[in-house]
Every structure is written in structure tokens, then in C-alpha cells.
Amino acid sequence: MAVVPAPSGSMLLAADAVVAGVHCDLDLVGLDDMGWKAMVANVSDVAAVGGRPCYAVVTVCGPLAQLDFDLLYDGLVGASDAYECPIVGGDLSSSATLVVSVAVVGDGGSGVPPPVLRSGARPGDTLFVTGPLGSSAAGLELLRSGQTADAPDLVLSHRRPRARLDEGTAARAAGATAMIDVSDGLASDLRHLADASGVGVVLDRVPIAIGVGRVSDDPEATALGGGEDYELLFAAPDPTRIETAFAERGLGTPLRIGRCTDDPAERRLRDGDLPVVGWEHR
């Protein structure tokens, strides 16, 4: 039990679990990577509303006798330090399956605009992502084929994804109406945003991360369907204002990828249907 100061603004609450063998193949990545990912998945949820993380609590359930908990905690604490989100409590239990569950409390701030939900996009809004996609999926493919030396940067994208906190704050400040992190894949997460907002969406382009073309037979499908890039996808009515805000903060230019339409059933990629690819929650 931790006793800590409450956030000064509205409170954000995220919770996400990483299950060995489901979200994380421990034959390919380390326990430290699993811990890192469990923390970052939650911090990214906070980033996706334009908030800041404050505290985390962690429950680890696993085969206690066999498990290298120091390694797991290295990853948890590494991400906790990187995102200034101290782990203030938790619980450790025996379980046949390793499950790392993290809950993060964030500060939503008290000013205007409020935290950005996924439900506020409006027809006419421009769609952005904060960076090109597919790195994590390509990195996983390299790990599976044992060719990690070919592109260590892609492998690192998979093992140590980053949460886009500054980008989320910038998008919120510059009028983003809806935002989500690309954890399930661009196609899936765009659907989530469109469904929640009740708008149609047209993707004009799919930005593909460098190197994905050397790994994947179908780089666009990898970028559309590969999850866990944790780039932010957002909608905003004034794209120039967004680009200016990112530039003023020294952040990479966010990428215009499409727009929202007034036909709530529309899910389009260029001239065709937006494919159904990506992570399905099982």
C-alpha cells in the first residue's frame, strides 16, 4: 500500500497485462523486455490522452521458483525510470503462467483542453500519426528468423518500444479531437477511433518505417497490421496548428495520413476498403 500525493489535475487510470506466450514470446525476447513492455503499454495509454504518468503498481504472477525476477524488474524499473513513473507498490504471487499486470496513475492536468479521448473526432479532421509504422512487427520477424544482425534498430523497436509522451502533450495542446496509441495496428486502432467517434475515415497513405521493406514481403500490410509501435494516431481540425506545435517543441513532424468523413460506415484505404489486419484481442 502506497500513500502518495494525488495528481494536481484530473486523474488518469490505465491498466494492462502482458502474458507470457500471448503478448510476449520468451524464446525470442528477455524477461527484462517483458517488464519494459508491460510498463510502456500503460505509459503509452497515458500519452494517448495527452497526460503524464505519475505512479505505477505492478502485480507479477508466475512460476516463482524458476523465474529470474531480477531480470524482469530490471525491465520494469528501466521503463519506470525512463518515463518518470515510479513503481510504488504491488504484489507477487505464484502462477503457472507468467502474467505481469501494471496499473498507472497519470495526471490529466487541470487546464483547457481536457484529456483527449478516442471519441471526439469530427468530419473534416485531418488524421495524423506521430511516426512511420511497422518497426516492431519487422523486428519480431527478424527475431523469429534469427537474423537480428540485419537490422538491430528494428529488433530494438520490438524489444524496447517507446511511449510518445511529448507528442501526446503537443497534439492535445494543438487541438487534437481524438487520439489513440497504435498498439493493435494502424488498421485496427483507426477503426477503434472511428467507431468511438462515429465518423468515417479515409487513409490516403500508410507511412512505412525504414527497413521494413527489407524484412517484409508486404511492407504496407506490416505497417497497417503490425501492432506495438506505440506511435500516436490522432485527428485534428487544424493541421498547420498541429505541425507548428510539434516544430516549436522540437518534435519530429507528425505525418498526415488521411481524414475523417461524415459517413460513419466509411473505412477506406485510398480507393479500396481498409483491410482487416492486426492484433485481435483473444
Task: Give the nearest distance from C-beta 136 to a second copy in angstroms.
Answer: 18
Task: Give bridge partners of residue 53 from the DSSP assignment.
Answer: 106
Closest C-alpha among 216, 226, 222, 180 to residue 201: 180
Q: Which helix (H) or strand (E) holds 217?
A: none
Site size for a second copy, by CB under 8 A? 51
Question: What CA dihedral angle connects 115, 117, 122 and 128, to 10 degrees?
Answer: 90
In this structure, the chain runs to a length of 282
Q: Which residues pair with 61 in a beta bridge?
A: 93, 99
156 binds a second copy (CB under 8 A): no
Residues 1-40 that bind a second copy (CB under 8 A): 1-17, 19, 21-23
Q: How far is the CB of 208 from a second copy (least distance, A)?
A: 28
Closest to 125 measured CA to CA, from 76, 174, 181: 174
Q: How many CB atoms lie within 10 A of CB 81?
A: 12
* Closest approach of a second copy to the CB of residue 165, in Å: 14
Q: Which of residues 100-129 bind a second copy (CB under 8 A)?
A: 101, 103, 105, 108, 114-115, 117
Handedness of CA 26, 27, 31, 36 (dihedral sign): negative
Print the binding letters for residues 212-251 with a second copy: x by CB under 8 A, - otherwise. Answer: ----------------------------------------
What DSSP line would sit under 114-151, residue for residue? PPP-TT---TTPEEEESS-B-HHHHHHHHHHHT-GGG-
DSSP for residue 96: S
Q: Which is nearer to a second copy, 61 or 143 (CB)?
A: 61
Smallest gap, in angstroms, from Cβ of residue 39 to a second copy? 14
User: Please, what is the minimum distance in Å from the beta carbon of residue 113 to a second copy?
Assistant: 12
Per-position x/- string for 60-99, each x denoting binding to a second copy as judged by CB under 8 A, each - no binding: -x--x-----------------------xxxxxxxxxx-x
Nearest distance from C-beta of residue 170 to a second copy, angstroms: 18
Instruction: Tell me the closest approach of the beta carbon of residue 5 to a second copy, in angstroms.
Output: 6
Residues 39-58 that bind a second copy (CB under 8 A): 45-46, 48-49, 55, 57-58
Q: Across-strand partners of 19?
A: 99
Q: Which is nearer to a second copy, 95 or 145 (CB)?
A: 95
- Of residues 17 and 255, the one with the C-beta less far from a second copy: 17
Nearest Cα neighbor of 206 from 182, 223, 189 is 223
Q: How many CB atoms lie under 10 A from the CB of residue 50?
A: 27
**Spatial contact of 256 and 127, defined as CB atoms under 8 Å apart:** yes
Q: Which chain residues interact with a second copy by CB under 8 A?
A: 1-17, 19, 21-23, 45-46, 48-49, 55, 57-59, 61, 64, 88-97, 99, 101, 103, 105, 108, 114-115, 117, 281-282
